[in-house]
Structure 1
Amino acid sequence: MFENQPLLLQDCLDGKFGTIFEYGRSCVCEAGFIYLLGEAEEGILSELKNKWNNRMFICMTPQWEDALVTAYPGMVHVTRYQMKYEPDIMDEKVLCRYTEMLPPEYRLTMFDQTVFDQKPFMHASTYSSYEDFQREASGAVVWYQDRIVSSASSFLSWEKQLELDVVTKKEHRRKGLAIACASAMLLDCRTRGLGVQWDAQNPASRSMAEKLGYRLDCTYQAYSFIAPEQP
């Protein structure tokens, strides 16, 4: 289980993101993922498939995990990796090197008003204005000609902590674009005293995080009624 509570869940419990549903001794937080807290109860267990058929469930207690897999033995589950942010271990020279290793046809920039208005890959969509994003968040993108093809951005912010999301268009992968974006964002956040949380969805994402100085905090299972799309 988790060593530290996920940032998405913290933001939801604080009333800043998502929706909370209470069912007696159970609590369900809809915040990107569907977080299951408290004691599993038959009433909400029977509603999960109808209410959130296409979402991923994360159990915050062993009891919930046992109840979920017992009630729905055919559920798909994937292993995810919560990474530990340790800014003192991160090597600034390494981060800078990754930002400088782009192929010549690509261009790296930080989020500005133009990028924010485009909301690449839905990044920055949880921030109400560019001013809010400037104050609370960070992000970087890679351009190919006049199109954004890779982006690293904070999905949301909570008490000077950011939730990182990194996306690269399929046809531009394996060229160092994602790690360049993430490095630029980390350098900016380090200067500004912002922590960056990384929840890796697969071994490749975990490996990239470790190259940038993250350490594995814990692994956990995410459950779904439908097999998730390959990233």
Structure 2
Amino acid sequence: MATEPKTEIWNKTGSGVLTETPLLLTACREGKFGTAFSYSGGCVYQALFTYLTGKPDEGFFSVHPELFYGSWLVCLSAEWENYLRKLPMQAVFRREVMEPLCAESVKPLKPLPEGYILTPFTPAIFEAHPFGQGGNYAGFEDFSERGAGAAVLYNGQVVAAASSFLTFEDQAELDICTDPEHRKRGLADHCTTEIMSQCSRKGLTIHWDAQNRISAELAKGHGFRSLTEYAVYCLRDNG
């Protein structure tokens, strides 16, 4: 969730297979987000991450290197993980998935530092797409109807924001970012509390996929519970 360090290295020898179905993958399977590439033994889903299901196919891998190199690969089968681990690797990262939650935050908050203002997303904030947020909605009307968003302003500029990355049915994938110069001031906590309140009122269940321990601790502080961890593989392209 965009707090340093941005990623965490996977330093375990055990399985890094993702055992839960993420919302991004569910939306992709339903044709609402990303792209699916089927082959005889399984399917590759490009949905922000590249999700690998079924069994590896050497022919498919060779014909479609663009699906694998330069991508964040997530294995949903042991067969795919075993296949990838035999290839030259650039890095392997750890992520932690929280149990989906539709509830108000349980965390008591200190007031924002002087000069900072918390606000729901306005049309102007949405159109500015802070930290790249809001791009999966047709416009502000669509976002305000199906999504949720909160921002912290400083001198009129967005310096932190929490937004639904996408909405599928009554589920929302969460994205939280803070400008590096404004971190460690509780801004993410205030954004989280506000977006949880918005989602609770709308009946939206939040999906939180933490990219590092700081993000995971932020989530847990607001009432989320850890569900599972998994590995993200980045292959080294020698070509």
Mark yes or no: TM-score above 0.5: yes
1:4 is matched with which residue: 6, 20, 23? 20
Partner of 1:34: 50
TM-score, normalised by the number of residues in structure 1: 0.89
1:74 is matched with which residue: 89, 95, 100? 89
Q: How does 1:11-90 map to 2 (within 5 A)?
A: 11-47=27-63, 49-70=65-86, 72-87=87-102
- Cα separation, partners in 2 of 1:7 and 1:26, compared to 1, 3 Å: same
Partner of 2:121: 111
Distance 1:189 1:2 in 2: 26
| 1:224 lines up with 2:234 in the alignment | yes
- Quote the offset at 1:4 in angstroms: 2.9
- Cα separation, partners in 2 of 1:87 and 1:18, compared to 1, 3 Å: closer
- Quote the offset at 1:47 in angstroms: 4.9
Higher helix share: 1
By relative contact order (CA 8 Å, sep 6+), the higher-ranking structure is: 2
- Cα separation, partners in 2 of 1:50 and 1:117, compared to 1, 3 Å: closer
- Match for 1:198: what amino acid? W
> Secondary structure in 1 aligned to 2:158?
strand
- Match for 2:56: what amino acid? A
TM-score, normalised by the number of residues in structure 2: 0.87
- Quote the offset at 1:91 in angstroms: 4.9
> Secondary structure in 1 aligned to 2:197?
helix
Q: Is residue 12–residue 20 contact of structure 1 (8 Å, CA) maintained in 2? A: yes
- Match for 1:4: what amino acid? E
Structure 2: state its 5+ residue gaps.
1-16
| 1:193 lines up with 2:175 in the alignment | no
- Quote the offset at 1:101 in angstroms: 2.4
- The number of aligned residues is 220
- Cα separation, partners in 2 of 1:172 and 1:142, compared to 1, 3 Å: same
- Quote the offset at 1:52 in angstroms: 4.1
1:183 is matched with which residue: 175, 184, 193? 193
Distance 1:167 1:175 in 2: 13
Identity %: 36
Distance 2:82 2:204 in 1: 36
Q: Deviations over 1:179-198 (max 9, x none)?
A: 21111000111122110000
- Quote the offset at 1:48 in angstroms: 5.8
Distance 2:119 2:63 in 1: 45
- Match for 1:112: what amino acid? T
Q: Is residue 101–residue 206 contact of structure 2 (8 Å, CA) maintained in 1? A: no
- Cα separation, partners in 2 of 1:180 and 1:47, compared to 1, 3 Å: farther
Q: Deviations over 1:96-154 (max 9, x none)?
A: x43x5210111100011111111111111110111111111001000010110111000
> Secondary structure in 2 aligned to 1:28?
strand
- Quote the offset at 1:38 in angstroms: 1.2
Partner of 1:153: 163
Structure 1: state its 5+ residue gaps.
227-231
Distance 1:113 1:34 in 2: 32
What CA RMSD, in Å, does the superposition of the two structures yield over aligned residues?
1.7
- Match for 1:38: what amino acid? G
Partner of 1:143: 153
